Amino acid sequence: MKAIYVETLIRGSLGELWQLTRAPDAHQRWDLRFSSIDYLPRTDPAQPQAFRYTTHLGFGVAITGEGETVGTHAGQDGVSTSALRFWSEDGKSLIAEGSGYWQYRPEQTGVRFITRYEYGVRFGLLGRWFDALVFRPLIGWATAWSFDRLRLWIEAGIPPEVSLRHTVVYTLARLMVAALWIYQGVAPKLLTRQGDEQFLLAAAGAPATLVTPALVAMGVAELLFGLVVLISWPARWPLWSTVVLMAVALVTVALSAPHYLVGAFNPVSLNSALATLAAIALFLSELTPTAQRCRRRPAATDSL
């Protein structure tokens, strides 16, 4: 199995980044992988710092584990590296033990923050399959999402709790934009060839012989566009396109068939709602963490 690698550039000071990643009360706020992190007492400062972590899975289920920071090194080039190892004796934990590091590389525009870690799993062949197919992609995504959440905290002053609320609202808005595009393409155009849809096309100037083919083509286009909104999750252009297309469609209906604007279910309510949802997602897109902003593989010139 490949090690999990995540890298991001944070435009802030090394001191602030160090504090927010090394202090347990701050670390547990931005890292999605942990619900709580506690340093354990130590009598000798020269000894590794031990810690205990807990991850709540919901429905009262929690997984606990322990670890220790086994070394911190600051090179002459200003690069700092903190190595750690971790393990869990909790029988519910897929992870049995692992190790990795955090690295802080000062650059002219900020600090390049990097992690690389590997772990072994329980439950034999079944555990290895589940790790490869589900858990490893999920925890890699959670690590990258958390790194971007930390970046927003430092660069934009957005607390992690607010970032989470942004994520919920952005996700709901974007999902609904995609769902409405898909529904409007499939239900009234591809499945039922709804009469009002055909009338609107004819009123807009489509020849009678082309109304049905045009309706099918529009249905396919709307279905595909809805899928694009989902697949290209961090991209902003589908949201901008939605706002513009809804405005154009509303003006077209107003000019060609204005009586539709006052119906019980009409383009004013539908197009305005869809455009508003897209605008909300647009507004939050730069304020919402996303794993796609992080590099998931080291550069070819990097040494691990």
Instruction: Tell me the pLDDT of the chain averaged across its residues.
Output: 91
Determine the 3-state secondary structure of 74 from DSSP: strand
CA 246 to CA 203: how far, in whole Å?
18
CA 7 to CA 143: how far, in whole Å?
10
CA 183 to CA 192: how far, in whole Å?
12
* H/E element, 121: strand 110-121
pLDDT confidence of residue 304: 47
What confidence category does residue 299 fall into, taking pLDDT thresholds of 50, 70 and 90?
Answer: confident
Q: Tell me the residue type at 98.
A: G
Q: What is the dihedral of CA 40, 44, 49, 54, to 10 degrees?
A: -10
Stretch among 37-51, 77-91, 149-163, 279-293 having the lowest mean pLDDT: 37-51
User: Mean pLDDT across the stretch 72-101?
Assistant: 89
pLDDT confidence of residue 157: 96
Determine the 3-state secondary structure of 187 from DSSP: helix
The order of strands in the sheet holding 61-74 is 4-10, 110-121, 95-107, 80-87, 61-74, 49-58, 36-39
Q: With 60 as the cut, is the pLDDT of residue 253 above it? A: yes
Phi, psi (rounded to 5 degrees) for 31? -90, 110
Beta bridge partners of 117: 4, 100
Provide Rg for the chain, Cα atoms: 25
pLDDT confidence of residue 76: 67
The greatest distance separating any two alpha carbons of the chain, rounded to the nearest whole angstrom, comes to 86
Stretch among 146-150, 257-261, 272-276 having the lowest mean pLDDT: 257-261
Q: With 80 as the cut, is the pLDDT of residue 166 above it? A: yes
Residue percentage of the chain with pLDDT more than 90: 71
CA 293 to CA 304: how far, in whole Å?
21
Q: How confident is the model over 2-33, as pLDDT tens digits? A: 899 999 999 999 999 999 999 999 999 999 99
User: Mean pLDDT across the stretch 80-89?
Assistant: 93
